[in-house]
Chain A
Amino acid sequence: MRLFVVGLRKLVRRPATFVTLGLLVGLLALIYLAVGATAKQAAAAGNGGQAALLLVTFPGAYTLLLSFILGLGGLFAMIFGAAIAGSEWTWGTLKAAVARGESRSRYQLLSFAAISVMVGIGLLIAFAIGLVVTIVAAGLAGVPTTGIDDSATLGKLPPLLLRGWLALAEACALGYAIATLARSQLAGIGVGIAVYFGEQFASIFLPNIVKFMPFNAATAVVATSGQFGGGGGGPAPVRLDPDTALVVVAAWLIGALLVTALFTERAEISG
């Protein structure tokens, strides 16, 4: 428990936590405001603006916003996980803890538990800010926000946010595991980004396999009519149904943590 609490404190004091969240929220705001400012004209000109308007039309905007956060946020969560895990090796702080007799796997798993809590908080903050930005963007686009209090959609939000949290935690765990294997922040982030974009690219050729891959499964845990932040253009992606995706995401999450714990237990810690 001490490790978990200290883990949270470390993350609150760490600039990377706020930089990552700031980048996600900043990009989200930029894209939504741009959509809000241009969608109406684009729709009038018949340039696909109708689809863009869906992004700021409630109640569907709720799930689209969550989908957006899971897509782009998945990448950021993975980078965040890699940064935290990698720095434990490069700064030698894992070494210092192990030399004090701390269990290696316990240290890693409790550190990750703290990170996943921060990711959950980050998701809530991003969603809340995203909602405000969506309302502003709807105003810019001249779209009424009448569906904002749709009780059926609002009732579904908590379980959807929980699913989203699991999806982001999975991406984060993946980055955490890669950086642990690489024992480096930079290598972890680099390989993680390559996996993320590699998966998007491979989905063009091997959609039936790639739908089981971590990032595709993560975006599928929230059923939406569109996809944002996970690559654009091309044919409609082949997706798992949300419940199957949830199981696949949980499997990736557990697998990543197992790899992290086992590797750390067996690793020769030097440097």
Chain B
Amino acid sequence: MTEGLALATRGLQKRYGSQTALAGLDLTVPSGVVYGFLGPNGAGKTTTMRLLTGLIHPDAGTIEILGQPFGRRDRRRLFEVGALIESPSFYPYLSARENLRALAAAGAPTPRSRIEELLELVGLRDRARDKVQTYSLGMKQRLGIAAALLSDPRLLLLDEPSNGLDPAGIVAMRATLRQLAASGKTVFVSSHILGEVEQLADVLGIVAAGRLVREGPIQQLLQGEGVVRVRVPVADVGGAMRVLDALAAGGAGAKADGDGGWLSIHIAPARAAEVNRALATAGIYASGLETGSDLESLFLELTGGDGSNDREGTFGVAGASAAPAPRPGAGGTP
């Protein structure tokens, strides 16, 4: 069933007392991709990560790692898996190098030279002799990524890998993970930072209430989820909305994003010039134009958050974001 798959779960179930964490999770992760595993808080992401690394055991269902069944007695399967689960775990009184050496003694045999390579890769070589208790959160996260890569794994499981990293660190991490995927390794990234996953992942899996609600290549999932935002003079908002509604005939109409004259419309980003032209033809000149794909809308729709602005400033509904506007990517200006 799992030919060419790095990871597969079927009917994975896990309960904590009366609470259901996973209610039959079916994941299909192809080899050599970056897989973005998205879900709101409490959706079962961390439980899934723990199950995949043998830290906890499923109540029902099966896991296959790198084409082989993975159960209680198959711990050696993890020799080809690297993981960073929740926060990075280290001995605070040891240095980064000593921590990696200590970890390398467990599980898969790891050559000592690998430790130096990884310290270089994550930019900690100069601080490798310092005790980890003196590290910032971002430095610990870098070290956690190095620890996950210790055994040169074929499958990498990362839980919120960009947590605490500075912008340069995020960019470097993204490049490293893309490079790993390009070399045939599989990177499974659990996150709730949609923009990060959108930039990084080839394939997405969205989980809500312990079940997979959508899975597939990111481009395919975001087809029809494109968004174009334009900024027009406030006095022209009414007229601009009529123009945009006409362009989006058959789809959802334009909507205003706040009071600043920003309007958004769900159409393919490739039609941005057409939007600009239509507005200009109607005598309305846009002062800003952005395009993007609306992963946030898709995410909210699938995970039960409606994205409305009524609960602004609250965290009342798991998975709902207080900010209703889509997250356009870098777009052109007219």
Contact = CB atoms under 8 A, between A and B. Distances in A.
Interface of A: 2-3, 5-6, 9-10, 13-15, 87, 91-93, 95-103, 107, 268-271
Contacts of A99: 53-55, 78, 81, 83, 85
Given A100-B79, A271-B86, 14 more contacts: A6-B102, A9-B102, A13-B94, A91-B89, A91-B90, A91-B92, A95-B55, A96-B147, A97-B103, A99-B78, A99-B85, A101-B75, A101-B108, A268-B55
Nearest to B109: A2
Contact of A103 (B50, B55, B75, B102): B75
24 contacts: A5-B105, A9-B98, A10-B91, A91-B90, A92-B87, A93-B90, A93-B91, A96-B90, A96-B103, A96-B106, A97-B107, A99-B78, A100-B78, A100-B150, A101-B75, A101-B77, A101-B78, A101-B79, A101-B108, A102-B106, A268-B55, A270-B50, A270-B55, A270-B56
A260 B52 CA distance: 24
A144 B190 CA distance: 73
Given A15-B93, A93-B91, A270-B55, A101 B86 contact: no
A196 to B, nearest CB: 26
B297 interface: no
Given A100-B108, A102-B75, A270-B50, A6 B101 contact: yes
B93 A14 contact: yes
Nearest to B157: A99
A177 B55 CA distance: 19
Q: Would you list the 9 A-B pairs with minimal beta carbon distance, nearest first?
A: A92-B89, A100-B107, A101-B78, A97-B106, A102-B106, A6-B105, A2-B105, A99-B53, A269-B55
A92 B89 CA distance: 5
Interface in B271-291: none
B305 to A, nearest CB: 26
Contacts of A91: 89-92
A98 B89 contact: no
B151 interface: yes
A50 to B, nearest CB: 47
Contacts of A96: 89-90, 103, 106, 147
Interface residues of B, number: 33
Contacts of B81: 99, 101
A6 B54 CA distance: 23
B174 interface: no
A87 B133 CA distance: 14
Contacts of B54: 98-99, 101
B13 to A, nearest CB: 14
B56 A269 contact: yes
B100 to A, nearest CB: 11
B85 A95 contact: yes
A93 B107 CA distance: 13
B140 to A, nearest CB: 11
A98 B91 contact: no
A10 B90 CA distance: 12
Contacts of B50: 269-270
B56 A268 contact: yes
B57 interface: yes
A271 B49 CA distance: 12
Contacts of A92: 86-87, 89
Contact of A98 (B53, B77, B79, B86): B53
A91 B86 CA distance: 12
B56 A100 contact: no
Given A6-B102, A15-B93, A93-B90, A98 B55 contact: yes
B76 A100 contact: no
Contacts of B98: 9, 13
A100 B53 CA distance: 8
A13 B102 CA distance: 12
A154 to B, nearest CB: 39
Contact of B105 (A3, A270, A271): A3
Interface string B183-209: 000000000000000000000000000
A101 B50 CA distance: 13
Interface in B41-96: 50, 53-57, 75-79, 81, 83, 85-87, 89-94
Nearest to B75: A101
A87 B94 CA distance: 13
Contacts of A3: 105-106
Contacts of B85: 95, 99
Nearest to A93: B89
Given A268-B57, A271-B86, A100 B151 contact: yes
Interface in B251-272: none
A244 to B, nearest CB: 39
A271 B86 CA distance: 8
Contacts of A93: 89-91, 102
A107 B106 contact: yes
A101 B105 contact: no
A175 to B, nearest CB: 19
Nearest to A3: B105
A226 B15 CA distance: 56
B191 to A, nearest CB: 18
Contacts of A102: 75, 106-107
